[in-house]
């Protein structure tokens, strides 16, 4: 039996690399596993040797103690790996296939999956529709920041790369297909970005930068990225975005300097529930981004909201925020006839065409988000560095297969 190591949440501000069980074709009890999922047989699953697995901003919310995640939860929902074993119910995926794993776990059988709403599958999480690897309230599926991981419904969920050698040459781009590239793209799509559009993207973290790349692919005339972090804004400028530093400038004023008018066609929230206000030394004010997006988006426009919002936040600034209740200017949104799209991205809707864009050199998402490969051993250091606000996307390489591993501070 092979060994397995993984990154586990050990309480607010703390993660550790720990020894865990090698995957089997049964969901076992453990931190966060719903009782109704314990003992669930998984003949349709595949075991993957993890090639890359990324640290996500959503992971950071848990590590900061801003969710109800239990201690000991194995983290990681952005996974790319090679199939090393398949269950008896797997027909098409084969040992040796190199695949991207959508962060949404879905069955492919329920009414929502058949509608393409894989983000709200009805059969994988006894708590509520939708599931993900290594995430709070998502059924307890073991995370993929590990050496090996189990993927249920493998024939349905896995996106096989057509050529392994070509894929490994582009692995730093392709690793983004599991979450942030489709998620950012989904934000741009649901905001209504199209040829000639102007779009304001709140947040220059990896998802915000992925949304900016997505907006460019969709033909936006002007992509404006806003943040409080100067280093992250420089990353957006590096691939042709306009920027607004909201620590020093009101969003409408910044937009006006770029466009000559104070409003944009489309808006994207790539920040989520830990948003801060605008201005120098801004404090946490979780409704700021949504309210400012309603303010700067033209009447009749749409808001894509891939930024994470939660139903339980122990660190919320008040009792309302602790249960996900925010002071939104819904009247303004109503008056302007704005549309809103929230929730997880249905990754399978986008990952194949985005894969083709990467393989045919139409996009270089790893460069845009400043991807950096690091070893599994230094994952805690990577978490701390990312949490400090550096303009990087850390990619864990548990087996040293990318050939690109560097130090966290490089």
- The CATH number of whichever domain residue 355 belongs to comes to 3.90.180.10
Q: Are residues 286 and 146 in the same domain?
A: no
Residue 406 located in a structural domain:
no
Residue 6, helix vs strand vs coil: strand
Q: Are residues 197 and 154 in the same domain?
A: no
User: What does the block give as tokens for 40?
Assistant: 């669930």
Residue 401 located in a structural domain:
no
Q: What is the pLDDT of residue 143?
A: 97
Q: Are residues 236 and 319 in the same domain?
A: yes
Q: What is the pLDDT of residue 270?
A: 97
Given a cut of 80, whether residue 1 has pLDDT beyond it is no
Final residue before a domain boundary, out of 303, 325, 341: 341
Q: Are residues 18 and 167 in the same domain?
A: yes
Query: How many other CB atoms are found less than 10 A from the CB of residue 114?
Result: 11
81-113: per-residue pLDDT in tens?
Answer: 999 999 999 999 999 999 999 999 999 999 999
223-263: per-residue pLDDT in tens?
Answer: 999 999 999 999 999 999 999 999 999 999 999 999 999 99
- Torsion angle (degrees, nearest 10) of CA 107, 109, 111, 115: 80
Q: Are residues 63 and 140 in the same domain?
A: yes
Residue 187 located in a structural domain:
yes
Final residue before a domain boundary, out of 314, 341, 368: 341
281-324: per-residue pLDDT in tens?
Answer: 889 998 999 999 999 999 999 999 999 999 889 999 999 999 99
pTM above 0.95, yes or no: yes
Q: What is the pLDDT of residue 2?
A: 75
Q: What is the pLDDT of residue 68?
A: 92
Residues 284, 182: Cα–Cα separation, whole Å: 28
CATH number at residue 203: 3.40.50.720
Q: Are residues 33 and 147 in the same domain?
A: yes
Residue 372 located in a structural domain:
yes
Q: What is the pLDDT of residue 57?
A: 93
Final residue before a domain boundary, out of 341, 356, 376: 341
Residues 261, 1: Cα–Cα separation, whole Å: 64
Residue 208 located in a structural domain:
yes
Q: Are residues 116 and 257 in the same domain?
A: no
Residues 241, 226: Cα–Cα separation, whole Å: 10
Q: What is the pLDDT of residue 410?
A: 81
Looking at the 3D structure of the chain, how many domains does it have?
2
Q: Are residues 271 and 364 in the same domain?
A: no
Question: What's the full length of the chain, in residues?
Answer: 410
Q: Are residues 171 and 48 in the same domain?
A: yes
CA angle 258, 261, 263 (to 5 degrees): 95
111-158: per-residue pLDDT in tens?
Answer: 999 999 999 999 999 999 999 999 999 999 999 999 999 999 999 999
Residue 402 located in a structural domain:
no
- Domain interval for residue 108: 5-179+346-396
Residue 403 located in a structural domain:
no
Q: Are residues 306 and 367 in the same domain?
A: no
Distances (CA, A) of 359 to 168, 173, 286, 355, 363: 11, 9, 38, 6, 9
What confidence tier does 388 reach under pLDDT thresholds 50, 70, 90?
very high
Give the pairing type, strands 242-245 and 264-269.
unpaired
Residue 408 located in a structural domain:
no
* Gap between the terminal Cα atoms of the chain: 36
Q: What is the pLDDT of residue 196?
A: 98
Q: Are residues 129 and 219 in the same domain?
A: no
Q: Are residues 36 and 94 in the same domain?
A: yes
């Amino acid at each position: 039996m092979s060994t397995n190591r993984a990154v586990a949440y050990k309480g607010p501000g703390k993660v550790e690399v720990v020894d865990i069980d090698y995957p089997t074709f049964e969901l076992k009890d453990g931190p966060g596993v719903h009782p109704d999922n314990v003992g669930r047989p998984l003949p349709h699953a595949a075991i993957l040797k993890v090639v890359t697995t990324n640290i996500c901003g959503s992971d950071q919310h848990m590590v900061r103690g801003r969710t109800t995640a239990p201690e000991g939860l194995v983290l990681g929902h952005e996974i790319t790996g090679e199939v090393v074993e398949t269950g008896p119910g797997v027909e098409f995926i084969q040992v040796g296939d190199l695949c991207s794993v959508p962060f949404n776990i879905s069955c492919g059988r329920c009414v929502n999956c058949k509608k393409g709403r894989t983000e709200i599958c009805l059969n994988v999480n006894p708590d509520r529709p939708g599931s993900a690897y290594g995430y709070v309230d998502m059924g307890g599926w073991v995370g993929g920041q590990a050496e090996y991981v189990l993927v249920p419904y493998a024939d349905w969920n896995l996106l096989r790369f057509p050529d392994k050698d070509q894929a490994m040459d582009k692995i730093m781009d392709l690793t983004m297909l599991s979450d942030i590239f489709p998620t950012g793209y989904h934000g741009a799509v649901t905001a209504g970005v199209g040829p000639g559009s102007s779009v304001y993207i709140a947040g220059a973290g990896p998802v915000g930068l992925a949304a900016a790349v997505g907006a460019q692919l969709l033909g936006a005339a002007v992509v404006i990225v806003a943040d409080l972090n100067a280093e992250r804004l420089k990353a957006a400028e590096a691939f042709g975005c306009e920027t607004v530093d909201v620590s020093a400038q009101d969003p409408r004023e910044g937009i006006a300097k770029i466009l000559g008018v104070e409003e944009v066609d489309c808006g994207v929230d790539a920040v989520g529930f830990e948003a801060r206000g605008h201005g120098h030394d801004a404090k946490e004010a979780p409704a700021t981004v949504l309210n400012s997006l309603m303010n700067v988006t033209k009447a009749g426009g749409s808001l894509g909201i891939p930024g994470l919002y939660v139903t339980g936040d122990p660190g919320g600034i008040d009792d309302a925020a602790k249960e996900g209740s925010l002071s939104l200017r819904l009247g303004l949104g109503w008056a302007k006839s704005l549309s809103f799209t929230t929730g997880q991205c249905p990754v399978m809707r986008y990952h194949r065409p985005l894969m083709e864009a990467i393989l045919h050199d139409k996009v270089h998402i790893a460069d845009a988000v400043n991807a950096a490969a690091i070893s599994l051993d230094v994952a805690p250091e990577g978490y701390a560095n990312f949490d400090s606000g550096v303009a990087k996307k850390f990619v864990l390489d548990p087996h040293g297969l990318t050939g690109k591993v560097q130090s966290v501070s490089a």
